[in-house]
Amino acid sequence: MTAHQPHVQRVLDSFHGGHAIATMLTEANLQHVTEDDLQAAIQTYLNTRDVYPEREVRLSDGVSRIDLMAGHTGIEVKIDGSWANVIRQLTRYAKCTEIESLVLVTTRAKHHHLPTQLCNKPLSLVSLVGSAL
């Protein structure tokens, strides 16, 4: 554990956790071929920043499983899928009590037109358009 890790955890557990994670990921060079590769690259990169997300976390609605959870921030990774399906999925996640903020990491421009909040929870976008190997 590093000296600044408690501060990192406080940020992740706050309303602004998604924005902080999105900023970190925007600075990353995330190499990937598949969605699973991208999830692993995100987890590895965040670990180097003293953020330790869990993968494939079941949510309190009993139905949903989000790609990564870091504190109270849910991170969803999309390399395909329709805009409507992505919004529907993110809205379902936003309704879960353990989610304080959401981050969508996507390789598709069609996913860029997002609201800034879903269910009164902030939603941040990380665009990786054109970044696959």
- Asked, for residue 22, whether it belongs to a domain, the answer is yes
Give the max Cα distance, the chain.
Answer: 42
**pLDDT score recorded for residue 3:** 42
pLDDT at 6 over 90: no
Q: Residue 86 has what pLDDT? A: 95
Mean pLDDT of all residues in 79-86:
92
Q: What is the pLDDT of residue 4?
A: 45
Question: Is residue 16 over pLDDT 70?
Answer: no
69 in a structural domain = yes
Q: Are 42 and 75 within 8 A, CB to CB?
A: yes
- Read off the pLDDT band of 2 (50, 70, 90): very low
Of the pLDDT bands very low, low, confident and very high (cuts 50, 70, 90), residue 10 is: low
Residue 41 lies in a domain: yes
How much is the average pLDDT of 13-25?
79
**Residue corresponding to tokens 């329709």:** 82
Which tokens in the block code for residue 80?
A: 């395909």
Q: Which domain holds residue 91?
A: 5-127
Instruction: Classify residue 133: in a domain, yes or no.
Output: no
Q: Ramachandran region of residue 69, left (φ > 0), alpha (ψ -120 to 50) or beta?
A: beta
In a domain, 115, yes or no: yes
Residues making up the chain, counted from first to last = 133
pLDDT confidence bin for 12, thresholds 50/70/90: low
**Phi–psi pair at 52, nearest 5 degrees:** -120, 80
Mean pLDDT across the chain: 87
Number of domains in the chain: 1
**Residue 71: inside a domain:** yes
Question: Is residue 132 domain-resident?
Answer: no
What is the β-pairing status of strands 117-118 and 101-106?
unpaired
Residue 86 lies in a domain: yes
